[in-house]
Structure 1
Amino acid sequence: MSLEGVQVFCLLILTREANSLSGAASVATESLLKLAFTIGLHLDPSTFPSLPKLQAELRRRLWVTVVEITVLTSLDSTLPLSPLIGTYNPKSPANTADEELMAASPPDSTSHADFDGTDCSLQLLLLKSLPLRIQVVQQLNNVHHDLSYEKTLELGKSLSGHCREIAAHFEKGTGLFDSGLFHRKLLDTYMRRLILFLHRPFCLHARKDPRFFIARKICLESTLITMGHAESLNLPFGLLDDFARMSIRGSGLFKGGISSDVISALSAEIVSQVEEENGSGEPESSAITASDPLVQLSRANRQPLMRRLEHIHQQLRQILALGRLSVKQLIFTSGVLAQVKAMERGEDSRDAVIEALKESCKASVYTLRECGLSNGTTAMTDDSNPFSLEMLDWFGFDFSSLDPNFVLDVTNSLASPTLVGGEVIT
């Protein structure tokens, strides 16, 4: 039990999330938190006058890091946040460069301005919103109390303020992170994700109750902004920036603009628009008159959303071809695209969705076999080994047991905790 051990522990947990490694991160994070309490990281170093300045600053930074990881893991796992978090609030670390702290005789006051880029400036930027994020996660994971709409809007407004503060930080910042596009995208994605999670329950009610339209609007805005950070993801062509590379390999927050959360939110919005276009909650109720000017206007306004979803769908196919086992999102988007197109034609979407799911599973099997990842099976180069429904067992699907009235309801994905946690679906 040492500071070095805590540092390694933090890196291992972040590595697991950044590389979509299996296992419950919440268990490891709980152990990390207990270790931090055991060695007294929660105590302000000022209570130990004999500590060198380097050790004091290191302990402050490590405690903030442990709390940040705990909050993030609680958000992904939907497990209650430890009540001890937020109880101990030691003095914030100084905005000091590492080389200044490690000097033989560090000066007594070496803290830089807020916008000066040092090794600690991003941690301090996040620290400003930490009390608010702790409150949001506690509210989201509280199964005994429903968050009111007014409180949701209040918390969302505060988070939006921190989004603007992050943007201002990188516009005015100097020093180590002058070109910190990766850091700006990551921090903004974190805040937008919290905003999305807050407003998502009320977004579902907005389909039938116009009083919650603001929540629906905020969810769509947060989704589009988060997906916008994935525009640099253009496989198999083009160079990938660091954020795109992280999105390919990561889970949860580190999945960036192609996470299950934003995909399900955008899908629900598109399907809701088509249902409203039909004039009924049932997409199969009537055929849509394509010559209706209102329908044409609605479809034209929906095209940017469809292009976003189609782009994500194409990138998920390319990521699968790289050998990354991220299949559920790909199959889900295939079903949504098929459902929307069938609804726009005024057709029964059930058959179209089932056929799209089958074809997506089939294509995924072929792709994985070409990558040599399907249990060591050789690649399929012809039709000598025809596709059958039994092959879908590899993914855990059993289409023979589908309810006869099956239809893909993407709004269920917004209410499902399995799409919140990066530990379940990456």
Structure 2
Amino acid sequence: MLLVTPQQPSEPVPAVTDSSGNSAVLARENMRWDPPQELNEPSRQDDRINELESRLRTLAEHLLSRSIPKQSVDTSAAEGLGQSGYASNPVLHGAKPILNKSRLFGRTHWTNDVPEFKRISEYMNIEKNEATDNERVKSLKSEIHVLLQKCKLLAKAIKASRPTRCLPVIEPQLPERYLADTMARLYISRFESVFRILHIPSFWIEYQSYWRDPANVDGATKFKIQLVIALGCSIDHESHSPEQVQSAACQWVYAAQAWLSAPLEKNRIGISGIQIQCLLILARQCLSISGDLIWVAMGTLVRTAMQMGLHLDPSHFDDLSVSDAELRRRLWATIMELNVQASLDAGMPPIVSIQDFDTKPPSNIDDTDMDDSIQKISPKPHTVVTETSLQIFLSDCLRPRLDILRMMNGLDPGMSQDEVVALTSEISNHCNKSRGFVKKNVETGSDVFRHNLADLLIRRFLLSLHRPWACTAHTGPLFYYSRKISYDTAATLLSPPQDDNFTRLLLRGSGIFKNRIIHVSLALASELLIEIQDKGSNPVTQQPWDYRSMLVAAVQEARQQSAQRMQFGETNVKLHMKLSVVLIRAESLLPGQSLQEKMIQSAKDSLQTSYATIQANMGLPVSPLYDGETFNIGDFSPLLDFDDILNAADLALDEATASSSSMF
């Protein structure tokens, strides 16, 4: 179950000293820590956002009027401050592109959040075997190192057992008809209104034709049907979905990838080919198959679409039917959505900017309103919710998200305070309105899933926008606005409205869905560390749901979700370990207790739990002390560079197979 984060009381902002030495107390009415509001209260959200913007501007004017010198803010954070008080270059705390082996991780990639964990590395003091370490600490260091190496070897063994495109693909048969029907309906009801890829009535005609005579159905139709069923399998949480169906779903993904990667023929460049590529991009993330490399595949998809002229509005072409024109608009909108999501995760600029296309958003109609016999489409008012309303809504929010990617992942990143506030307001308003664009389906009960998915696709941009400045909030109150937005966004993304299908997607998926838990975990853990730094590690006992208690509960929930992901095949052990260490840092020490020893012990306990989970997934004896023939502990150094673990060094991200096999 996903935790619903409780509301926290208001917190005052610390006083600031001006250039003359006077204390400028920033009163509670100028900036407060308000609880995150529910998504079904759009009017209150709008009022709250407007109030925050007003407070931020008032606060900036107050600080500027007192001429606060740069020395009052951390030098690295203050570098490049403009009149607004926000950095003209948002690269703070070393947030710059990272070149790791053959891959470049840009500013919106999660690796730029990890350096915040350096706050606690000083307490670990494990870069070398200190002479002052007692025997207990030395023993724990050695055990942690051995467990970490074992986890890595198990992860490699899991990767080696998974199929790759280099191996011959034996195409598995579709499951029994009743199960295939269930999976196809799951995809249509959950994904299709967010990512408009298929014309649903036409797909069902192809689907029925395939089951009548599979041998005479063309390859493109077969791959579409297989990928649709695979996507349904990725979110199915019912017991009637056997394990062999999940394995077959992955095989269908590899088969479709092999078909697309073969020497190009005319049938690869067409509407069916584009649909297969879109389904494949989505399936790779939902089934955790090379989900970390989606941005590379998006290059092929975008260029294929532009070669077909999808970036030009159909009004430029006289010979297109009305239904073909609408399908092309829908596909281009879907490609642009996949484009911004992949760019955010990779930390790379979007492959296409807003100036590179003039295709209009799709018309607000249902699929039954378009077929080859229709000569003219009459779109419904935007107040009427259709099967396409949610995609139109996402398209309306495309420009601000492209602006964020351009300003953060471009060659010369920089944005003013006004730009940050304006983008935040625009995206927040879209988040608050998203539920109204979801067409309720009482029969399938899919409206919660679709709202959660649309909200995730939009809201996570707020986290990336504010994280560079949120980490700097303790150096100056002007950054508290970003700190608050960062916390509210992370808390909301951590605990969306409950839906079993969506929960399974979050715990199993990679790409968008894996990066969500990493970004959220790092944001919440960083906020907890800042809170500890501000108020000390042994606070006076407060109310049961004080702010720190809420942060601890949120980090515990993030750690629990990390553990659940390992049950679905994730081999990421370092995220769980880091969160465990952070939680220990938040605990009060008893007299005579060693903080270092407690943190090291928590790291060991976390690795033992993770190792046992991975063993169980491989069918090995569940024991953290298991030593198979693969392991030669004597080859490992007893020393552990814990600073590397707490930061982003020694990454072993997935570069060839399932992203769920990556080490963090």
TM-score of the superposition, structure 2-length normalised?
A: 0.52
Question: Quick one: which amino acid aligns to residue 562 of structure 2?
Answer: L
How far did residue 123 of structure 1 move? Answer: 0.9
CA distance in 2, matches of 1:382, 1:189: 36
* 1:98 and 2:367 correspond: yes
Find the counterpart in structure 1 of residue 585 from structure 2: 339
Q: Select 2:356's aligned residue among 87, 92, 105.
A: 87
Q: Could you tell me which runs of 5 or more consecutive residues in structure 2 were left unpaired when the two chains were aligned.
A: 1-268, 654-658
Question: Quick one: which amino acid aligns to residue 305 of structure 1?
Answer: L
Find the counterpart in structure 2 of residue 140 from structure 1: 408
- Equivalent runs, 1:122-201 vs 2, <5 Å: 122-170=390-438, 180-201=447-468
3-state SS of paired residue (2:373) = coil
Find the counterpart in structure 2 of residue 274 from structure 1: 532
How far did residue 263 of structure 1 move? Answer: 0.6
How far did residue 385 of structure 1 move? Answer: 5.0
After superposition, the Cα gap between the structure-2 partners of 1:63 and 1:74, relative to the gap in structure 1 and judged at 3 Å, is same
Question: Quick one: which amino acid aligns to residue 261 of structure 1?
Answer: H
How far did residue 308 of structure 1 move? Answer: 2.2
After superposition, the Cα gap between the structure-2 partners of 1:296 and 1:124, relative to the gap in structure 1 and judged at 3 Å, is same
Find the counterpart in structure 2 of residue 264 from structure 1: 522
Find the counterpart in structure 1 of residue 501 from structure 2: 242
Find the counterpart in structure 2 of residue 379 from structure 1: 621
CA distance in 2, matches of 1:347, 1:217: 33
Please say which of residues 88-97 and 146-155 is displaced more in the overlay: 146-155
Q: Select 1:55's aligned residue among 315, 321, 324.
A: 324
CA distance in 2, matches of 1:390, 1:226: 41
After superposition, the Cα gap between the structure-2 partners of 1:318 and 1:226, relative to the gap in structure 1 and judged at 3 Å, is closer
CA distance in 1, matches of 2:351, 2:293: 16
Please say which of residues 19-28 and 261-270 is displaced more in the overlay: 19-28
Find the counterpart in structure 2 of residue 400 from structure 1: 639
CA distance in 1, matches of 2:590, 2:415: 36
Question: Quick one: which amino acid aligns to residue 27 of structure 1?
Answer: V
Find the counterpart in structure 2 of residue 116 from structure 1: 384
How far did residue 85 of structure 1 move? Answer: 4.6
CA distance in 2, matches of 1:401, 1:356: 15
After superposition, the Cα gap between the structure-2 partners of 1:210 and 1:267, relative to the gap in structure 1 and judged at 3 Å, is same
Contact 2:369 2:377 in 1 (8 A): no
Deviations 1:307-366 (A, max 9, x none): 222123223323323433343322222222122226798965433322222221122112
After superposition, the Cα gap between the structure-2 partners of 1:175 and 1:337, relative to the gap in structure 1 and judged at 3 Å, is closer
How far did residue 159 of structure 1 move? Answer: 0.9
CA distance in 1, matches of 2:487, 2:503: 21
- Equivalent runs, 1:341-356 vs 2, <5 Å: 341=587, 349-356=595-602
After superposition, the Cα gap between the structure-2 partners of 1:276 and 1:35, relative to the gap in structure 1 and judged at 3 Å, is same
CA distance in 1, matches of 2:504, 2:622: 29
After superposition, the Cα gap between the structure-2 partners of 1:210 and 1:344, relative to the gap in structure 1 and judged at 3 Å, is farther
- Equivalent runs, 1:295-374 vs 2, <5 Å: 296=542, 300-341=546-587, 349-372=595-618
How far did residue 197 of structure 1 move? Answer: 0.8
3-state SS of paired residue (1:89) = coil
Q: Could you tell me which runs of 5 or more consecutive residues in structure 1 were left unpaired when the two chains were aligned.
A: 233-239
Contact 1:270 1:305 in 2 (8 A): yes
Deviations 1:60-116 (A, max 9, x none): 1111111211111111101122355542122221122222212x5225133223243
After superposition, the Cα gap between the structure-2 partners of 1:123 and 1:347, relative to the gap in structure 1 and judged at 3 Å, is farther
CA distance in 1, matches of 2:406, 2:420: 13
After superposition, the Cα gap between the structure-2 partners of 1:97 and 1:331, relative to the gap in structure 1 and judged at 3 Å, is same
How far did residue 245 of structure 1 move? Answer: 1.1
Contact 1:339 1:408 in 2 (8 A): no
3-state SS of paired residue (1:95) = coil
Q: Could you say which structure has the greater relative contact order, defined with CA pairs below 8 angstroms and 6 or more residues apart?
A: 2
CA distance in 2, matches of 1:168, 1:175: 13
Contact 2:302 2:351 in 1 (8 A): no
Contact 2:288 2:510 in 1 (8 A): yes
CA distance in 2, matches of 1:199, 1:298: 29
Find the counterpart in structure 1 of residue 512 from structure 2: 253
* 1:214 and 2:472 correspond: no
CA distance in 1, matches of 2:632, 2:323: 61
CA distance in 2, matches of 1:220, 1:379: 40
How far did residue 28 of structure 1 move? Answer: 0.6
3-state SS of paired residue (1:136) = helix
Find the counterpart in structure 2 of residue 236 from structure 1: none
Contact 1:370 1:379 in 2 (8 A): yes
How far did residue 192 of structure 1 move? Answer: 2.0
3-state SS of paired residue (2:580) = helix
CA distance in 2, matches of 1:187, 1:384: 43
TM-score of the superposition, structure 1-length normalised?
A: 0.79
Q: In the comparison of the two structures, how many residue pairs are matched? A: 383
How far did residue 199 of structure 1 move? Answer: 0.9
Question: Quick one: which amino acid aligns to residue 363 of structure 1?
Answer: T
After superposition, the Cα gap between the structure-2 partners of 1:136 and 1:392, relative to the gap in structure 1 and judged at 3 Å, is farther
How far did residue 269 of structure 1 move? Answer: 1.0
3-state SS of paired residue (2:471) = helix
After superposition, the Cα gap between the structure-2 partners of 1:242 and 1:178, relative to the gap in structure 1 and judged at 3 Å, is closer
Find the counterpart in structure 2 of residue 237 from structure 1: none
